[in-house]
Structure 1
Amino acid sequence: MSWDVIRVVAIFFVIAGHVTGLASRIPGIEGYPFSLAIPFGTVTLLVLSGYFIGPTIRKGDAGRWLRARLSRLLPAYLVAVLLTYCVTRYAVVTFNGWWHQPGVLGMLFGDPVRPSVPTVEFPWHVPDLNDLLLNVLLLHEWNPDLVHRIDGSYWTLPVQVIAFVCAALLWRSKLRHRVRPHTVLWAVTAISAASPLLSLFMSSVPTATGTFYGHLFAAGMAIWLWQHDRLPSLQLVMLLSAAVGLHALRASAPEVASVIGLAVMLVLMCLAAKGPDWDVPVVRLLRRPISWLAGISFGLYLVHQQLGYVLARWLSEAGFGPWWLRLTVIVTAVVVAAWLLTVLVERPAYRVLTRPRTRGTNSAVAVPTRANAEPAVSVGGAT
């Protein structure tokens, strides 16, 4: 339950920051009288992802572990990308005062028809086939033009995949038997600290390769090793301090609040890892909704930003109700969409793709294992 609370708090600040903060900067979206944009939720989820690499990868073969992680991650992501692309293409052309090419293919892939005299001062970007292919192939971070993002939140997906592949390769290698864990974690942190130098070759290399965020995964792994008495407390404090320091150098405004937020979340993770499960009255009272929201957190991450912006623009143009009613509709729609994505795509795909096959038969038999039952806990759905 402790980890569910941390996960829900993190995803809450991710969604709140995008819905109440970033959305109001987009043309045509009516803002709210407040903004809860404190950018520490996503980095917290990456630390969580790093933590849960430890207890899951050691259960068996690294290749099977990697397949399970990607099975949790990619099907829901691909469906979300296609859904977001189609909805954005359909809606944004109208927002810009343009027209679609005739036919379904024209609407999805054709260049929109624009009036001879522009009717919109700040048109939204209409994603094209190139944007779609980059996102489907997890190569979108290699495009330095941030405008060409189908969804701004999807930058974490290639980072997650790279981290999982590196973890699987390291686990299968003999290096883990020859090098102390804290040495590996410090090496990863050092690479992350030096990664901006890679931008001298190409501006997008640090983020596209995932090296820019390596310290976050190292911080999560440090907490897990410390929990199992495989990392001294002093090393833990130093590694977590390094992670907070790097975040402080790279955080966007409000920087102080963002740094404090990450530091508090790291302390909470240490308490969750080493101490008893949280059973305070508030958590006990909200146990069911917290567990439910934690179970659909990956879906929430996938559908809340761009689709939420499109819905916010529709509601703003329609003059729909007061701000609190618009906000309620947007949040409700995001939660429902995330639940549908989870129960219709993420969980069924995970069961099918990780189902062990019985030798000598043509049928696949599902065997209930702990790995099958594990919920997604991070940005990328990794446990």
Structure 2
Amino acid sequence: MDALRLVAALAVLLFHFTARDHSRWGEATHTAFPHLSVLTAYGYAGVHLFFVVSGFVVALSARGRSVGHFLASRISRLYPAYWAAVLLTAALRWAVPGLGEREPWHVLVNLTMFQDLVGVPRVDGVYWTLWVEWQFYLLLVVGIVVGLTRRRVLAAALWVPLVCTALVLLVPASAGVVTLLGYAPLFAAGVVLHVVHRDGPSARRWLLLALTTAQAVLLAWVHQAPAIDRIATGHHVSRPVLAVVVLGCVLAVAATALVPAVRDVDLRVLTWLGTLTYPLYLTHEYVGWALIGALHPLTGRWATLALATGVCLVLAWALHRLVERPFQRPFRAWLEQRLTTGGAPTPS
């Protein structure tokens, strides 16, 4: 699962560097990388993979916990690296011409992670997924309050995606207001896989997984393919191909969670690589674009792409080592003291 998360982050990185519309190469990305960009345009689906993995992992982390313990876990996991990334990216955007600086008050609001909720411009465009994640967490908080029994979890995995999918199809503008709507089936697929992993398979659970996956594929076809076309250059994204890629995201998580030959692989290097995922995702876009703009006239396209990717990976390691490792545990302990009341966890 750690390796899958890194694959998702690298897919998004390559999408932003070689397929998304930007001028840092001195020409359109599809002109700079005419063949590679055909493939990396589908790197957008790294977000889909992230959401399936999140559904599985966060459902696991919510099991048997109180609201306070769950929120302390999520806040301490997300915020230390995020705060560092916001400040780093804001400083970079002020320092490098052409990246578009943000107002100081925009940066302050971004530090809350809820800038989308109040309509404040993001310091980095990738932060939109974090608000989607928080909407999923809030649903889990409701579940913890009422009790996360298996029956309730599976009922929610059935009805929430159905309602969300119907809203996106019938009222497309709703997906711009409540951004979880277009991605709810992906989280639900991850949650169902968690139940199968924990309690074993059954015909109903497989059917529910197939239903949530079908909705995720349908929304990718109808809703997300046009969104990719709007921000990528030169290539029209094939809806059937994107549908297959999204299906592959669910199958990859299913294999990682359920197939013993894959699930039981326990290599420390995979865990270490997984630690790079979140800081890499948070910082790669503007750091990479700044490096591309500065280096490509000197080193050429391919060497610049390799150097930008390598620097982003090193920066991700530095953020993990210098920010996440020293601060997450004490921050979590501090939060638990203030958010928990000592009550028993909710039944699971």
Equivalence for 2:307: 329
Question: Which of 335, 349, 365 lines up with 2:327 in the alignment?
Answer: 349
Matches of 2:71 and 2:123, distance apart in 1: 26
Identity %: 26
1:262 aligned onto 2:246? yes
Partner SS for 1:141: coil
Equivalences for residues 9-158 of structure 1 within 5 A: 9-22=7-20, 25-30=21-26, 31=29, 32-33=32-33, 34-35=36-37, 36-38=40-42, 39-92=44-97, 95=98, 124-142=99-117, 148-158=121-131
Following TM superposition, by how much is the alpha carbon of 1:358 offset from its aligned partner in structure 2, in angstroms?
12
Following TM superposition, by how much is the alpha carbon of 1:289 offset from its aligned partner in structure 2, in angstroms?
4.6
Following TM superposition, by how much is the alpha carbon of 1:160 offset from its aligned partner in structure 2, in angstroms?
1.6
Cα 1:232–1:309, aligned 2, differ >3 Å: closer, same or farther?
same
Mapped contact 2:182–2:223 kept (Cα < 8 A): no
Mapped contact 1:296–1:338 kept (Cα < 8 A): yes
Question: Which of 272, 275, 295 lines up with 2:275 in the alignment?
Answer: 295
CA RMSD of aligned residues (A): 2.9
Cα 1:10–1:142, aligned 2, differ >3 Å: closer, same or farther?
same
Following TM superposition, by how much is the alpha carbon of 1:298 offset from its aligned partner in structure 2, in angstroms?
0.5
1:213 aligned onto 2:183? yes
Q: Which consecutive unaligned segments of at least 5 residues does structure 2 have?
A: 230-236, 338-348
Matches of 2:263 and 2:142, distance apart in 1: 38
Matches of 1:345 and 1:7, distance apart in 2: 20
Cα 1:152–1:356, aligned 2, differ >3 Å: closer, same or farther?
closer
Alignment: residue pair count: 313
Mapped contact 1:66–1:165 kept (Cα < 8 A): no
Cα 1:63–1:89, aligned 2, differ >3 Å: closer, same or farther?
same
Partner SS for 2:113: coil
Equivalence for 1:314: 294
Q: Structure 2-normalised TM-score?
A: 0.80
Following TM superposition, by how much is the alpha carbon of 1:342 offset from its aligned partner in structure 2, in angstroms?
0.9
Matched residue type, 2:57:
F
Residues 169-201 of structure 1 show CA distances to partners (whole Å, capped at 9, x for unaligned) of: 311214x4595433211221023214446776x
Matches of 1:243 and 1:142, distance apart in 2: 24
Partner SS for 2:41: coil
Matches of 1:204 and 1:245, distance apart in 2: 17
Mapped contact 2:8–2:46 kept (Cα < 8 A): yes
Matched residue type, 1:310:
A
Mapped contact 1:139–1:158 kept (Cα < 8 A): yes
Following TM superposition, by how much is the alpha carbon of 1:290 offset from its aligned partner in structure 2, in angstroms?
3.6
Matches of 2:273 and 2:263, distance apart in 1: 18
Select the structure of larger CA radius of gyration.
Answer: 1
Equivalence for 1:102: none
Matches of 2:336 and 2:277, distance apart in 1: 33
Q: Structure 1-normalised TM-score?
A: 0.73
Following TM superposition, by how much is the alpha carbon of 1:162 offset from its aligned partner in structure 2, in angstroms?
2.4
Matches of 1:341 and 1:356, distance apart in 2: 21
Matches of 1:76 and 1:300, distance apart in 2: 10
Following TM superposition, by how much is the alpha carbon of 1:352 offset from its aligned partner in structure 2, in angstroms?
0.9
Matches of 1:173 and 1:279, distance apart in 2: 31
* Greater mean deviation of Cα atoms: 241-250 or 133-142: 133-142
Matches of 2:56 and 2:242, distance apart in 1: 20
Question: Which of 161, 164, 184 lines up with 2:156 in the alignment?
Answer: 184
Cα 1:275–1:177, aligned 2, differ >3 Å: closer, same or farther?
closer
Cα 1:203–1:172, aligned 2, differ >3 Å: closer, same or farther?
closer
Matches of 2:209 and 2:263, distance apart in 1: 26
Partner SS for 1:185: helix
Mapped contact 1:144–1:204 kept (Cα < 8 A): no
Q: Which consecutive unaligned segments of at least 5 residues does structure 1 have?
A: 96-123, 360-383
Mapped contact 1:88–1:126 kept (Cα < 8 A): yes
Following TM superposition, by how much is the alpha carbon of 1:153 offset from its aligned partner in structure 2, in angstroms?
0.8
Equivalence for 2:5: 7
Following TM superposition, by how much is the alpha carbon of 1:355 offset from its aligned partner in structure 2, in angstroms?
3.0
Residues 143-168 of structure 1 show CA distances to partners (whole Å, capped at 9, x for unaligned) of: 779xx432111111122222223212
Matched residue type, 1:16:
L
